[in-house]
Amino acid sequence: MPDGDTRNVLEVNNLRTVFGTRSGEVHAVNSVSFHVKPGELLGVVGESGSGKSVTMMSLIGLLPSPPADVREGEVLLDGEDLLKVTPDRLRDVRGGEVGFIFQDPMTSLNPVFTVGYQIMEPVRRHMGLNKKQAKARAIELLELVGIPGAAGRLSDYPHQFSGGMRQRVMIAIALACDPKVLIADEPTTALDVTIQAQILEIVEDLRAKLGMAIIWITHDLGVIAGIADRVAVMYAGQIVEHAPVFPLFNDPRHPYTRALLKTIPTVSGERAAKLQVIEGQPPMLGAAPTACPFRDRCPLVFDRCHAENPLRADVGDGHDVACFHPLAHTAKEAVA
């Protein structure tokens, strides 16, 4: 947990992103707000299509427009609204102040440039180092992420690295300019568990060393439990629950979070005879939400859920939940 420094390095308020498609609009992100402090790791969980990646890409203008359109909201990086700055300034931010690790290490490196070149590129662009300094920095970075024989591997091409190694290179690139905020978009999803364990270890280590804020997107609740300080659960383009990591797992309030935690089997403890399922499918996001997006799959659904979209309401200790049902606000998980 961060100590002392309570200023938010990144604050997002009411972000709304809409895609225009031939068959109408898709409201991928609906009024999403969150913040991170320096040294803090915010986990964002949700199923595919819940808008996790789109939210993060909206922050630093990585979505092509059209079709994407960031309609509303503000993204404050140290008080500066990134949605209003010039394209030039945004280029300085990307890779400089905000690092981004993409999901697929296989395709997010350029196959025709050497790994060394790709690491040196942001360093020279953002930090103004000359070739020699940039090279020294690149070697330092590769050593930092645990690639053996770093100096010798700078002139290698991405295909000469394995998946886990490539993801380390991606992390090295994202860290190249000492970003204030690191956004990691499912960085371990494409990797095996043993390699994932290596990457998680590196990230823990780097966070302690460098003290940046990290936003970690994943659909794996196990990963989140291990590394996050706070967790935001996304469903259908909205944050439905947000809490520090312990209350989220021990005292989940939103019916979706509760159900999600029950659907996953574990490698230890009791083995259930049958897996709990969440019936049905996530909703289509054809229009701005006018009712609770989880209503069709919710065991606690009642009249009000069909009429209004719940807003996130505080239930104490930095825990908030977007649900009308009184059980979400008072009781522990007994009935749900």
Least Cβ distance, residue 249 to other proteins (angstroms): 5
Number of residues that bind other proteins (CB under 8 A): 45
The residue among 122 and 247 lying less far from other proteins, judged by its C-beta, is 247
Least Cβ distance, residue 270 to other proteins (angstroms): 11
* CA–CA distance, 318 with 165 (Å, rounded to integer): 37
* CA–CA distance, 132 with 130 (Å, rounded to integer): 6
Position 6 contacts other proteins (CB under 8 A)? no
Nearest to 19 by CA among 66, 58, 72: 66
The residue among 112 and 275 lying less far from other proteins, judged by its C-beta, is 275
The residue among 75 and 224 lying less far from other proteins, judged by its C-beta, is 224
Of residues 229 through 248, those in contact with other proteins by CB under 8 A are 245-246
The residue among 201 and 314 lying less far from other proteins, judged by its C-beta, is 201
Considering only 129, 210, 225, 301, the residue that binds other proteins (CB under 8 A) is 225
Position 264 contacts other proteins (CB under 8 A)? yes
* CA–CA distance, 200 with 179 (Å, rounded to integer): 19
Cβ neighbours of residue 77 closer than 8 Å, sequence gap 6 or more: 9, 10, 93, 97, 98, 180, 181
The answer, yes or no, to whether the previous bond of 66 is cis (omega within 30 of 0) is yes
The residue among 286 and 326 lying less far from other proteins, judged by its C-beta, is 286
Phi, psi of 24 (to 5 degrees): 110, -175
Please list the residues that pair with 72 across neighbouring strands. 16
The residue among 162 and 290 lying less far from other proteins, judged by its C-beta, is 162
Token pair in block for residue 148: 């053996």
Of residues 140 through 179, those in contact with other proteins by CB under 8 A are 162, 164-165
Considering only 271, 303, 316, 335, the residue that binds other proteins (CB under 8 A) is 271
The residue among 134 and 221 lying less far from other proteins, judged by its C-beta, is 221
For every residue of 40-101, DSSP letters joined together read: -EEEEE--TTSSHHHHHHHHTT-S-TTTEEEEEEEEEETTEETTTS-HHHHHHHBTTTEEEE
Position 267 contacts other proteins (CB under 8 A)? yes
The residue among 60 and 217 lying less far from other proteins, judged by its C-beta, is 217
Position 278 contacts other proteins (CB under 8 A)? yes
Least Cβ distance, residue 83 to other proteins (angstroms): 30
Token pair in block for residue 214: 């990290």
Under 8 Å between Cβ of 42 and 216: yes
Position 1 contacts other proteins (CB under 8 A)? no
Considering only 112, 275, 334, 335, the residue that binds other proteins (CB under 8 A) is 275
Token pair in block for residue 149: 């024989």
Q: For other proteins, what does the binding mask look like between residues 178 and 207, x meaning CB under 8 A?
A: --------------xxxxxxx-xx------
Considering only 127, 261, 291, 327, the residue that binds other proteins (CB under 8 A) is 261
Position 302 contacts other proteins (CB under 8 A)? no
157-162: list long-range contacts, CB under 8 Å, 24+ apart: 157/111, 157/112, 157/113, 157/114, 157/115, 158/109, 158/110, 158/111, 158/115, 158/118, 159/111, 161/115
Sign of CA dihedral 74, 239, 314, 230: negative
DSSP character for 17?
E
Position 12 contacts other proteins (CB under 8 A)? no
Position 53 contacts other proteins (CB under 8 A)? no
Position 272 contacts other proteins (CB under 8 A)? yes
Q: Please identify which residue in the block is written with the tokens 């989140």.
A: 224
Contact residues: other proteins, CB under 8 A: 47-48, 162, 164-165, 192-198, 200-201, 219-227, 245-246, 249-250, 259-261, 263-268, 271-272, 274-279, 281
